[in-house]
Structure 1
């Protein structure tokens, strides 16, 4: 009985849907949010075992001054699904392990959140109790990403093609947030948090 129940909630959505905006609101409300994509990047540079395995997969020259050349890796895996699967099989388990360690740091929290672009594709959904999907109109997402990353429309739509379509995300998720710049975000987040708190209490 001693152990308090903790609910782990996944936050996911396609590129440009506004995951980081939702995470920022949750952080402002005092909740801890683990960003799987940022941590994966860090792990690929700092976890020696992961670094060695990535070098074995792509060759030593994908690292420059100890940093993974991400655009180069993206180029290599873009055309080769098997290579991408191999890369994921190195990085995703390491991130999952790191997340478990992170959770221990927040052992007293009733709810913690894990933000991941590919929550379902990476198998990370197995580590969460509920999932929030964030959707936005396609054109708005493209516009956001073009602006934010300074990349072409074509590059954005190519990336979108590699992600689960919104329709599928919504069916697999427990909660939905619409980030269309019309519907207010904060009330949607608060409503979901209240529902989650009811589950814990």
Structure 2
């Protein structure tokens, strides 16, 4: 089975692109939502999180206290790296198990913001980078994340791998710059992946 990764920085529209593949009948693994699920449901990871951040990382009801965790890691690159080192291996295992559920499909898509940073690219055969110019991304994000300021968003973007590096490392680039239509780009890749699928 051909495995395709979709990545890009915050605000580029990678989720929109992934949704288009889903509409075409291709299973899509949403790394962000699956990471949240794993953090709530994987007992080994829950134990690791409590060991690392204390019992207060979960509420009395057993729910992950995302606000507390964010306050610990947001301004600390070391703590963020530590959190990712705990979570990413479990997400990789979850993805490997998920693949087995879709063995009848010609290809699958894995969407992840930190595809390169988490080494998740090693689990896929082809990579798509979704690109949008910085000013377009900021405009979209200010409309979507109304609680964040432009400075907040630029701080998040500055911590991510540059778009230039993502595009350089990707096999394919989809431009979601409000100038070019995205659907024809996705359809062209879909046909290409169907043609490649039998070789994997």
Normalising by the residue count of structure 2, what TM-score does the alignment of the two structures yield?
0.94
Q: CA deviation at 1:50?
A: 0.8
Which of 26, 35, 48 lines up with 1:31 in the alignment? Answer: 26
> What is the aligned partner in structure 1 of residue 167 from structure 2?
170
Shift of 1:82: 2.3
CA displacement, residues 178-200 of structure 1 (integer Å, 9 cap, x when unaligned): 00122101000011112222222
Equivalent of residue 62 in structure 1, options 57, 69, 80: 57
Could you say which residue in structure 1 is the equivalent of 2:80?
Answer: 84
CA-CA distance at 1:80 after TM superposition: 2.3
Tell whether 2:157 aligns with 1:156. no
2:184 alignment partner in structure 1:
187
**Whole-angstrom distance in 2 between the partners of 1:67 and 1:153:** 31
Give the number of aligned pairs. 196
In 2, distance between residues paired with 1:42 and 1:149?
A: 22
**Matching of residues 102-181 of structure 1 within 5 Å:** 102-150=98-146, 151-181=148-178
Shift of 1:128: 0.4
Moved over 4 A (4+): none
1:12 equivalent in structure 2: 7
* Structure 2 spans left out of the alignment, 5+ residues: none
- Higher mean alpha-carbon deviation, 119-128 vs 134-143, is at 134-143
What runs of 5+ residues in structure 1 fail to find an aligned partner? 1-5
Give the whole-Å Cα distance in 1 for the aligned partners of 2:172 and 2:152.
29
1:70-107 Cα offsets, whole Å, 9 max, x none, are 23222211232222222112110100001011100001
Cα RMSD for the two superposed structures:
1.1
